[in-house]
Amino acid sequence: MESLKKSLVALEGKIAEAKTKKDMLKARAQAAKAQQQLQSAVGSIGTDSAMAAFERMEEKVEALEATGQAAAELAGSDLESQFAALESGGGVDDDLEALRAQLKGGPEAVALPASETSEAVKPVQVEEVDAELEDLKRSIDKL
């Protein structure tokens, strides 16, 4: 009876060992399958397609940069021409003072040069000139 018990314990040990080995083999098989799937997925992507994707991204970024630079150049040239026009019209303050002096009828009244666009000079009210001056200042501030 003693030998039968020993045989039974040995058999149970072998069964437990077989179950452990089976579980280990099953886990290794699953790991191998997962690695195989991973390799097939990575293999289908390839380095060429990844590099092509980066090249496409780089081309898009370069196109956006070029568009932004072109817009900045266009806006810059427009601003430069506006500043040049403002700088060339620096005699506006002198003309305004001459108009004010003329309206006041003071001794320092100076005749303005004749305008090329109008034949007759219309009398101007001081309030109109002041309003126009304020409008010009606001438009300069907006620039």
pLDDT score for 109: 46
Residue 127 lies in a domain: yes
The share of the chain scoring above pLDDT 70, in percent, equals 75
Q: What is the pLDDT of residue 59?
A: 92
Domains contained in the chain, number = 1
Q: Which long-range contacts (CB under 8 A, 24 or more apart) does 12-20 make?
A: none
103 falls within a domain: yes
CA 124 to chain centre: 49
Q: Is residue 79 part of a domain?
A: no
| pLDDT average, residue stretch 48-73 | 84
Give, as one character, the DSSP assignment of residue 125.
-
Q: For residue 98, is it within any domain?
A: yes
Residue 59 located in a structural domain: no
Q: What are phi and psi of 35, to 5 degrees?
A: -65, -40
- Say what the alpha-carbon torsion angle 35, 40, 41, 44 is, to the nearest 10 degrees: 160
Task: Output the pTM of the full model.
Answer: 0.31
Domain residues for 114?
A: 90-143
**Mean pLDDT lowest among 10-14, 98-102, 105-109, 134-138:** 105-109
Residue 71 belongs to some domain of the structure: no
pLDDT at 124 over 80: no
Q: Please provide the distance, in angstroms rounded to a whole number, between the alpha carbons at the two ends of the chain.
A: 109
